[in-house]
Structures are given as structure tokens and as C-alpha cells.
Amino acid sequence: MTIPEFSTRYPTTITMAALAVILLGYISVDRLGTDLLPDLHTPVITVDLRASGKSPWEMEERYTRRLERDIQTISQVKRVYSVTRASQSVVVAEFSWE
């Protein structure tokens, strides 16, 4: 008796065997204990500077540009970006994983 003949003659047996394999696979993956998608965070530092009463232009000229320039001198800095508002400057630096 060939496999196709057996499958057509005993479909319930084939269905139960397939469900058993699926169930055992699910149990194995559940108990495996490995993280398929680990919780990784990009190394980032944020500098939030507040100076009351300063205009956005003044914050940009006095603080934001200096902070960006100084942070870029640090080794392994991949990217620096900033947001400047009235009385607030936020500078974010992303570091490489190395």
C-alpha cells in the first residue's frame, strides 16, 4: 500500500498524526526558552536644556549648535539631531553598537 492509498483509506489517522506533530511542535517552541526577538534598544542619550525667556533663535545659537558640535566629538556617535523651541533645546545622540 502506497502513502497516497493509505492517506485516502485512513484520513482520520493522517489528520490525527498531523495534529500531533503540530501540537508537539508548539510545545517544543513554547519550552525552548530562547528569545527569537530579543529586547534591544539603540544606545541613545538625550540632552534636554531649558532656559526660561529665551527665543527659539537664541536657544539655537547659544545652546543647540554648541551641544551638537561638542557631542559629535565623542567617539562612536552615529547620529546627532535636535529640536529647538522657545525656552527649550533637545539634542539626541545615537551611538553605534561597537
Mean of pLDDT over the chain: 90
- Residue 12 has what pLDDT? 93
Give the helix ranges, DSSP H, for 33-64: 56-59
Asked if 81 and 57 sit in the same domain, the reply is: yes
Whole-model pTM: value is: 0.58
Q: Per-residue pLDDT for 52 more than 80?
A: yes
Asked if 55 and 84 sit in the same domain, the reply is: yes
In this structure, is residue 88 part of a structural domain? Answer: yes
pLDDT digits (tens, 9 = 90+) for 59-89: 999 999 999 999 999 989 999 999 999 999 9
In this structure, is residue 37 part of a structural domain? Answer: no
Asked if 50 and 72 sit in the same domain, the reply is: yes
Q: Which domain holds residue 89?
A: 44-95
d(CA 50, CA 4): 75
In this structure, is residue 9 part of a structural domain? Answer: yes
Which amino acid, 61? E
With CA atoms as reference, report the closest residue to 69 among 58, 57, 56, 82. 82
- Residue 97 has what pLDDT? 82
- Tally of domains in the chain: 2
In this structure, is residue 66 part of a structural domain? Answer: yes
